A and B are shown apart, each in its own frame.
Chain A
Amino acid sequence: MKITLDTSTLSRELFKLQGVVNSKGTMPILQNALIEASDSGELTLHATDLDVSVTTTSECEVSQPGRITVRARDLYDVVKNLKGERVTLEKEDNQWMRLTSDTVRVRFVGMNPDEFPQVQRADEVQFVPLPTDRFMRMIDRTIFSISTDEGRPNLTGALFKKAGADRISMVSTDGHRLSMISAPVDAEGKQLPSELEDGVIIPRKGLAELRRTVDLTAPEISFGLRGNNVVVRHENTTMFVRVIDGNFPNFDQVIPESKKERMAYVDRATLIDRIKFVSLFSNTKTHNVRIELEEATCTISAQDPDKGECEEKVQAAYDSETVQAGYNYRYVLDVLNVIGGEQVALELVDTLSPTLIHELDSEEGERSLFIVMPMRI
């Protein structure tokens, strides 16, 4: 193999692999990037941690097609520091790879490319387009409440599921709180993959990687399913994310019925600010605050036997009966911080029932709802 291309292109593409290369792990080959050059002048870079795989393609000058695999991090560290505009990669004996650029000459220890896990192909995937910003909003609104408890593997990802005709939803829960968003999808007449009827669970790692690498300036991504992978394509990059095998819990039954008249409308920025202020008096270990809704007022308070207590009243559009509940304020702030809109609607059912938080003024057709289980204080 021998190829030459722009240093900046190689650096940009290698960056996209960095999140999945395994820095320690038991399989050394997974620290590598697989580099493939085809007759047609196409360079494919590939990395995988077996759960998430990234493939990018770009153009290059191919003097000799072939494959090679070297440590991805090392290669990236070298390439991003090159001064020369062009860089040449060339395979040597015994899986070594030589890199030359301007005055620089580097030789990397490589491995046998046949040992690299088989690269997955996206050829037969039926892709459905989705605006990039919409996809990002869906991830943002759910990723924070994904469980980190590997003892509950089915909660360590977000449920990606069809939600009625031409809508798609994303749901996550860590057992104490739940976030869900649904949004319209324009399948351009094509069917959504049938697996999405029941939904697939996309692991947090995959979502985080998507959020990190997707080019936000590109107007649109497209997604599809292949085997037990979700495939997401944006520009020249394809990402395979192995979905979590398991059933997402049936959460419908724990969501209280929402009633318009119970909603309290509060200025979101004020609420965030005041909760942070009051939380100075919450216990540093339990993060307790209390929220009380009474006519036209939302009272936030916290107390800790070691510190004292603190209370502040915020204006609210509310005219139902007085209710109150205790919370881990971080759970509340997590929601308030990811949603948009000037105002937010709080819906406290009672002290012990799950509380609903509604995002108002969502983007066109999107709907998100957040549920937080109160704390017993």
Chain B
Amino acid sequence: MGSDSDAAGAGERHTSPGSEEERIHILSPELADQIAAGEVVERPASAVKELVENAIDAGATRINVEIEEGGLKRIRVTDDGCGMGAADARIAVRRHATSKISNREDLFAIGTLGFRGEALPSIASVSRFELITKPAGRLGGTRVVIEGGERVSEGEYASAPGTSITVDDLFFNTPARLKFMKTRSTEVKHVLEAVQRLALPRPDVAFSVVHNGRRVLDLPVCDGHYARVHSIVGRDDSAYLYAAPDAEQDGVRVSGFFSQPALTRRTTNGIYTFVNGRFVRDSTILGAIRVAYRGLIDRGRHPVVILFLEVATAQVDVNVHPMKTEVRFHRADAAFRAVRRALANGLSACPWLPRGDADAADDGGATASRAGDPGPISDWSAAPTGRPSDATQAPRRYAADRFSGVPVGDSMLDGLPSRSYALRAGGPAAAGEGGLNEVHTEDLLPETGYFSSLVYAGQVHSLYLVCSDPEGLVVVDQHAAHERITFERLRTVWAERRTQQQPMLLPEVLHFDSLRAAILSDNLDFFAALGFDIEPFGDTDFALKAVPAMLSGGRYANMLTDALDDLADTGDSGRVDEAIDAILSRMACHGSVRSGDTLSPSEARALLEELDAVDFGANCPHGRPVYFRMSLAEMERRFDRR
């Protein structure tokens, strides 16, 4: 080509019968007005999302994202998609310029990720923006440079087929916005998250993210959803994932993966839901997930779920929110039911349980898939528990009890009151009113060794230690107590930087997903200060070589995972010191004896003795009481003895 050597202004027309085919046009003002308007670019990750969406819409098979300084210095997205001709390239950066819809009807049958014609102009107006693009099979490409919305130059440019967009100095002309940016690592985390969300439904496209020259995400083209899910969720977590049996309800089809109840997260960030390939946060879908898992996981915890919903484009409205992350189903009930059914069927088959027959379990039990790396799709499909077909016909006999409500209530012979007995309900808040004397340490505890001086009576329900002191009954929540002790230890190490280290005889290999790995790499010093000796090898693997001596015997990988999640929320800004307590308390949780652990009398006594070392003046890590006391006088009152 090369015939449009200087065609400034050619892009002003909606369509132009130029020398090359033009696809992009400016939407009519009436149609433009019907599009959900609002802010499109709020942080580097949103620019990356828009650019990668465009690349996917352009049919790219390989999309590379390069960012510098969390994307604030530079974002470059390069694809090998269809590219744009010269005229298209010039008009693409104007508002309401799109090739994806042209009339009102189109708005109700959107099959592409983009449709507003907003992204490029919005990004170009708050950055130094450069677009280089060339359709395959053409000789010359086009370059358009825009600074803060002002066109600086445009012209011919030699380039590879496809499109490369560079966004430098994002928000350079909106200092107020720039001030809101979190730290570099927080922004990187958001960028990675954005790319992963786009990559999950598209195993047929290769994605990579490079930050400051270091590759932080690499997702080659893979065969089928599971392999992609596996590489994004991480090896450890994906061992707990199972394929959900496909479900269909009134035109909504659902497929995907769900975690066994043993794997939960503190936040919903393990829940990825897609409607026609678009990542969405939809309350209907989230509600259905919650209902499916109800009773199987603790309140306040969330499963890991990756669900792909397919709906006829006419049955779902995506023009709802300027960020394109919400949809409106014409039949929300159908979506709800389809999701719930897929998960409930999957969960009720309990694919993680070994089969009743030992030999059947040999090749497909939970332990088998958990320990092994599911690896490439071929290996995986050999594991019967994971396959949708299998999940639907898996033996129901264990699950039946749980779902059909077989009447096995508390036995008539149970000597002990059931777990909901009134004492437990008396938290610190309920103290005065219920008549329970919630004891405050200062009032009642003798100077030293109170807990060691208790007479230990026994453990009930593997949850509580029942003891007595000379004037009453004391019940200790074993998990809360141990958590409190571990927390205290961690705080001491941190405060005094007085670290005794317990090296490993056999270093533990830690695998993290790329998000957490990136955060860990950035925070190795923090963990070193706590006494963790962590050595990176490879991009997402680390060797744990030593731990703080105070934590020996804890669940190190869990501790670190939760600490990383907390760090991600905090960033490494000035709030770290504030957040340390939260992080330490989370880690303490994993260093602890758990509810449900059976303790021998000597273990129970050791726990009580350690409680004496705890400074109860400080707040509990999770604000839960560790113990309560009921005086003899109070008991007498309860038994109507006075």
Contact = CB atoms under 8 A, between A and B. Distances in A.
Interface of A: 23-24, 26-29, 31, 50, 71, 73-74, 77-78, 109, 111, 114-118, 120, 148-154, 173-178, 226-229, 240, 242, 244-246, 249, 251, 254, 283-288, 305, 326, 328, 352, 354, 371, 373-377
B122 interface: no
B508 interface: yes
B325 interface: no
Interface stretch (B169-177, B407-415, B513-521): B407-415
Contact of A375 (B354, B549, B596): B549
B406 A328 contact: no
Contacts of B368: 245
B408 A28 contact: yes
Contacts of B507: 175
Interface stretch (B102-110, B429-437, B550-558): B550-558
Given A153-B367, A375-B500, 14 more contacts: A29-B401, A74-B412, A148-B555, A151-B556, A152-B508, A178-B506, A228-B365, A245-B367, A245-B368, A251-B505, A284-B613, A286-B549, A288-B549, A326-B500
B362 interface: yes
A228 B361 contact: yes
A111 B408 contact: yes
A7 B415 CA distance: 21
Contacts of A117: 356, 398
Identify which of A228, A244, A328, A352 gathers the most chain B CB atoms within 10 Å of its CB. A228
A243 to B, nearest CB: 9
Interface residues of B, number: 57
A244 B367 CA distance: 7
Contacts of B557: 149, 151-152
Contacts of B365: 228, 245
A110 to B, nearest CB: 10
B401 A149 contact: no
State the 4 A-B residue pairs at the shortest beta-carbon distance, nearest first.
A151-B557, A118-B356, A117-B356, A246-B371
Contact of B500 (A29, A173, A245, A283): A283
B372 A373 contact: no
A157 B438 CA distance: 42
Nearest to A78: B413
10 contacts: A23-B462, A111-B406, A149-B555, A149-B557, A152-B557, A226-B358, A244-B371, A245-B367, A245-B370, A371-B505
Contacts of A229: 358
Contacts of A174: 553
A281 to B, nearest CB: 14
Interface of B: 261, 296, 353-359, 361-362, 365, 367-368, 370-372, 397-398, 400-402, 406-408, 411-415, 461-462, 489, 492, 498, 500-508, 546, 549-550, 552-558, 596, 610, 613
Given A175-B505, A246-B371, A285-B550, A27 B407 contact: no
Contact of B353 (A28, A50, A326, A352): A50
B492 A373 contact: no
A71 B505 contact: no
A242 B358 CA distance: 9
Contacts of B502: 176, 286, 328, 373, 375-376
Contacts of A286: 500, 502, 549-550
A26 B408 CA distance: 12
Contacts of A114: 397
Contacts of A150: 555
B398 A27 contact: yes
B505 A118 contact: no
A174 B408 CA distance: 39
B354 A50 contact: yes
Contacts of A154: 371
Contact of B553 (A74, A148, A151): A148
B613 A109 contact: no
* Residues of A contacting B: mostly: loop
B508 A120 contact: no
Given A23-B462, A78-B413, A151-B555, A28 B506 contact: no
A191 B493 CA distance: 54
Contacts of B501: 375-376
Contacts of A74: 411-414
Identify which of A23, A50, A74, A153 gathers the most chain B CB atoms within 10 Å of its CB. A50
Contacts of A50: 353-354
B371 A153 contact: yes
A375 B553 CA distance: 13
Contact of A228 (B362, B401, B489, B546): B362
B48 to A, nearest CB: 33
A285 B503 contact: no
Contacts of A251: 505-506
B402 A288 contact: no
B211 to A, nearest CB: 28
Nearest to A77: B413
A24 B402 CA distance: 12
Contacts of B354: 50, 242
B555 A376 contact: no
B369 to A, nearest CB: 9
A23 B459 CA distance: 14
Nearest to B486: A285
Contacts of B504: 175-176, 373
A280 to B, nearest CB: 13
A97 to B, nearest CB: 13
Contact of A245 (B296, B372, B400, B489): B372
Nearest to B396: A115
A151 B489 CA distance: 22
A54 to B, nearest CB: 14
Nearest to A51: B354
A120 B504 CA distance: 39
A152 B615 CA distance: 32
A174 B371 CA distance: 17
A245 B550 contact: no
A78 B413 CA distance: 8
Identify which of A173, A242, A284, A286 gathers the most chain B CB atoms within 10 Å of its CB. A286
A171 B507 CA distance: 17
A208 B30 CA distance: 75
Contact of A28 (B359, B401, B558): B401
Contacts of A24: 461, 596
A173 B506 contact: yes
A150 B415 CA distance: 32
Contacts of A242: 354, 358, 361, 367
B505 A227 contact: no
Nearest to A372: B505
A50 to B, nearest CB: 6
A115 B402 CA distance: 12
A115 B550 contact: no
Identify which of B355, B356, B372, B556 gathers the most chain A CB atoms within 10 Å of its CB. B356
Contacts of B553: 148-149, 174, 176
B488 to A, nearest CB: 8
B408 A31 contact: yes
Nearest to A107: B412
Identify which of B261, B367, B370, B492 gathers the most chain A CB atoms within 10 Å of its CB. B367
